[in-house]
Each structure stands twice: as structure tokens, then as C-alpha cells.
Structure 1
Amino acid sequence: MFRTAVVEDKVGDGFHMLQAIAKIRPTYDQPDDPRHMARPVSLADGPATPRLICLSSTVVNGGVHQYARLAAHFRGTRPVSAIPLPGYGAGESLPATAEVALRTLAASIEQAADHDPYVLVGHSSAGALAYSVTGHLERTGGRLPESVVMMDTFRPTGVESQGSLVGGLLDQIFRSESEFGEFHSARLSGMAHWFEIAAHLEYDPVPMPVLFLQCAEGFPGAESEFDRWRSSPLDPSHTVRPMAANHFSVIEEKAADTARAIEEWLVPGR
């Protein structure tokens, strides 16, 4: 039914259906409960610091796997880990509120950092999550990242205001379902729940440097005539680096270029 909604340009209606499903799923309000901890997964290792901690995006095909190609280019150089979002697996509970979601991510980041200096990294909606959880860490006295890297991130404003753009993204994502496994109801309703959470998070300026990797190419299904596929930084102070890639290729076939841009940001002149 959700596929039909996307095809028939009824993305908002489709998300309302998924959100209704999410509302009857189990939720949790204790992020430090081991049953709900989003445990980080190591993707690369190396001697350099800071380590990179990547957050999974909120889309249905999101997960630690989305950073596999990027992490491969840091093997032997610096440690890279990725954090999944809870609620995308069958039987998993969803965070009850946006505050619980942020506390869950903060606890997972602390575990992944393991007392080392670190940089938060996020592609697409995960960039917004990385930015928002950094603000949360600042407000709560947590240990802050040295910097934040956002890859082609759009400000989450709700599906209603981004319906055609989200529809174009989902159309491309559905084409790749065979690569990621079945998009079952837990993954779809988990996406809708986290979309709703992201739309209600705070995105106030953060005190550390932010690198914004902006894709210079559109993707099939985007409304290129209106330039709506082009992302923009959440704050004018962010360092913008154009990438010769589109929203998907920036962490897939162009992952080497993306890794190089991040490494040059971390170690100027390299």
C-alpha cells in the first residue's frame, strides 16, 4: 500500500498510514535499558584520531551498512563505527519521544567514542540527527564531538512540505530493495516514526566546526527544474564543500571522494 502511495504521488497519505502503524508498536522511555541500546558497530580501525562515529539515516534502507563503502577508505588510517537507530528490526521498540531518541543516541555515541576524541558523521537525515544530538550533548553537559560532518542533509520539516522530494528519494530507494533486504512493516513504520521525531528536534547552532558536503548533481526523480534536490547547510557558518556526486553516489560509488574530503577537513594539507 505504501508503494502505491509513492507511485501515485500520495506520499503524505502513505506516511500517515505508517505513522498510525508506528503508534500501536511498543515504545520505550528508558534509553539506558540494555534491551533498547543502539549498539555501535565497528567498520574500520586505525591509529589516527579523532575517530569517526556515523549515525544511521531515518530512511527505510538506513543502517550501519550504508557507511560500509565510506569506512573501507579509512581502514588502517582511523577508527570508524556506525550506530543503528532502534525500531527498524522486527520485535524492536521505538523511542517514545524525541527526548528519549536523543538520549538513546547520546548513550550510544558515548559507548562508541570509548573516551577518544571523535567526529559525528551523518548522511542525509542522519546529518540532521548528528547536528541535533550535538546540541543535546551541549545542553546536558555531555562530551562533545570535535566537529560534525553532514553529507547532503536536508532540514527535516515534515513530509507534507517535502512530499515530492521525499517521493523521488523513496522511488530510488525502492529500486534498490534487493540490495538491502525486504522493506517489511517494522522498517517502514520505523522510518515514519523517526521522520516524525526528526521534524520536531531542535537544530540550534553548535559551538564546533561543521563540514557540509553538498552534492552538485541531481538524482532521477528529483524536480531538477526547481533545484529542490540541492541541499543547503543548516547554518551560514558551516563550511560547504561541493561534491561531484548525487544524494546516493556520495556514499556509494563516489565514497572514495567523500572519504578524501573528510580526511582533508580533519587533516588540512593532506
Structure 2
Amino acid sequence: MAASRLRPSFRTAAELENPPKLVRLSKGNTGPQLICFPSLVAISGPREYARFAASFRGRRDVTVLPEPGFVKGEYLPANIDAIVEMQAEAVLRCSGDKPFALVGRSSGGWIAHAVAQRLEQRGIATAAVVLLDTYLPRGEALPWIQTTLTGKMFEREKMFGAVDEARLTAMGAYMRLFMDWHPTPIAAPVLSVEATESFPTSAEGGSAASAPESSAWGPAHAAVNVPGDHFTMMEDHAALAAEAVQQWLTDRN
């Protein structure tokens, strides 16, 4: 977090000369399309959604909007407003005039929810927000989650690529910015897709980390459990996670 303060930053989307490019992972004709945000950890990126998106091929468009700063030379956001406004503009460019749902995996759910709230302020409705095992930044379980995530993250370096100083400081920057963030309830329906295999119990013997605090996400909130843990639900069990999202979206239409 301290080192991230030494990197160049941007305060408006206009200051980003080369913002991250969107990555289209699936095409289909059913709405709403899914616009996804990766997690904010050092191994984050569009590949997190590869197996998840494969289940939507021929059914829905699935696009990933990476966050800036994880590649050497990219600027980091100076504050939450900077990243939320940048991604809100990216969502509008990506969606065109078609309905869209915003999806966030893990800490990427913070971006998805904040962007939906920003768009609602501008009078633009989001069809739905899907949170894939997203925990609140200040949740009681977060210290134990972070410990587990760090170990699992480095286990996956071969899969997602080496963790270098750019990725580590980017993770530090986003964790620093969202440290005290709390979601403002939104009108859009929210689905929490939660892994059934919770994080381990704490060393003090406390209970395992549980589902996100549902009341924080908004009045129209639903939850569904899928097999796997925080990582494997989007790896070995990604098809089941995708089917849960597909079924929920279909039932709402």
C-alpha cells in the first residue's frame, strides 16, 4: 500500500491515454449482456472469467473490463471516484444501447456495485448486479480471508502469470482506496453467488467466514450457493456458477 503511493495516478478518465482494453469472451443474443470486472488482487485479469464465460457462448455477450494499473506503465486511480467514473464510461461504450448486467468477482464486486450506483445517479439503469463471492472491505472475516487469498494467489502464479511489482502495488493501491468503502444501496436487483466451501476458521477458534452481509447491497438482494471455494467456484465449478447466474437472469425476465 505504501509503495503504491509512489506510482503515477489519474483523477479523471481523460488523463488515461491508454486505458485497458475490453476483452470479449462470449457472444450471444440474449439480454442482458454481462459486463464483468476482475478482482483487485495481483493475479487479476480477464482470464478469471474464461471458464465462466464459456458457458454463455451462443447465449449472452460476456465482456471483461480490466482495472488499470496492473501492467507496468499504467496509471493507478488517485481515488475511488476516478476508477468508478472511468469504468462507468467504459460500461456505456461497451453496452451501446443494449441492456446490461454488471458482474464482479471477489473485490471486483466493489467496482461493479459502485459503478451501478454511479450510473443510477446519472439516470441510467443497470439490469442487475452479480457479486461472485464478494465480501465487504471492512467485514469481520476479512483478515482471515486475506491470509487465505494470499496463499492461494501465489499457488496460481503459473496459471495467471508472474506477480511483479506492478501487480503487487496495484493490489495495494486498490485495497488502500477501498479500505473504508461501504456500498450505497442501489435500486438494481443484486445476486450474490456464494461458494459453499467457506474459508478456514481463525487461529483463535472463531467461526469460518460466511456469506457477505446481504443487507448492505440493496433492498432487491438475493443469494445462491454454488459448489467450490472462493477460487474453485470460478475454476472447476465455473459452469455451475454460470448456470446459477443464467437461471436467475432468466427467471427475472
Give the alignment's TM-score, normalised by structure 2.
0.91
For structure 2, list consecutive stretches of 5 or more residues without a partner in the other structure.
none
In structure 1, distance between residues paired with 2:110 and 2:127: 17
Alpha-carbon deviation of 1:235?
Answer: 3.8
In structure 2, distance between residues paired with 1:118 and 1:162: 30
**What is aligned with 1:183?**
163
For structure 1, list consecutive stretches of 5 or more residues without a partner in the other structure.
1-18
In structure 2, distance between residues paired with 1:123 and 1:129: 9
- Aligned CA distance change for structure 1 residues 40 and 47 (closer, same or farther; 3 Å): same
**What is aligned with 2:127?**
146
The amino acid that maps onto 1:49 is: G
- Aligned CA distance change for structure 1 residues 195 and 26 (closer, same or farther; 3 Å): same
**Do 2:102 and 2:126's aligned partners in 1 also have CA atoms closer than 8 Å?**
yes
- Aligned CA distance change for structure 1 residues 222 and 133 (closer, same or farther; 3 Å): farther
**Do 2:192 and 2:222's aligned partners in 1 also have CA atoms closer than 8 Å?**
yes
Alpha-carbon deviation of 1:269?
Answer: 9.2
- Aligned CA distance change for structure 1 residues 199 and 142 (closer, same or farther; 3 Å): farther
**What SS does the aligned partner of 1:116 have?**
coil
In structure 2, distance between residues paired with 1:75 and 1:200: 37
Which residue, 17, 32, 45 being the options, matches 1:63?
45
Alpha-carbon deviation of 1:135?
Answer: 1.2
**Do 1:165 and 1:228's aligned partners in 2 also have CA atoms closer than 8 Å?**
no
Which residue, 223, 243, 247 being the options, matches 2:202?
223
Alpha-carbon deviation of 1:202?
Answer: 4.3
**What SS does the aligned partner of 1:168 have?**
helix
In structure 2, distance between residues paired with 1:58 and 1:265: 26
- Aligned CA distance change for structure 1 residues 167 and 51 (closer, same or farther; 3 Å): same
Identity of aligned pairs, percent? Answer: 31
In structure 1, distance between residues paired with 2:80 and 2:187: 22
In structure 2, distance between residues paired with 1:34 and 1:24: 17
**Do 1:135 and 1:206's aligned partners in 2 also have CA atoms closer than 8 Å?**
yes
RMSD: 2.2
**What SS does the aligned partner of 1:42 have?**
strand
Alpha-carbon deviation of 1:34?
Answer: 5.1
The amino acid that maps onto 2:90 is: S
**What is the number of residues matched between the two proteins?**
249
Which residue, 74, 81, 105 being the options, matches 1:123?
105
- Aligned CA distance change for structure 1 residues 201 and 104 (closer, same or farther; 3 Å): farther
**What is aligned with 1:249?**
232
The amino acid that maps onto 1:126 is: G
**What is aligned with 1:94?**
76
Alignment of 1:166-205 (within 5 A): 166-205=146-185
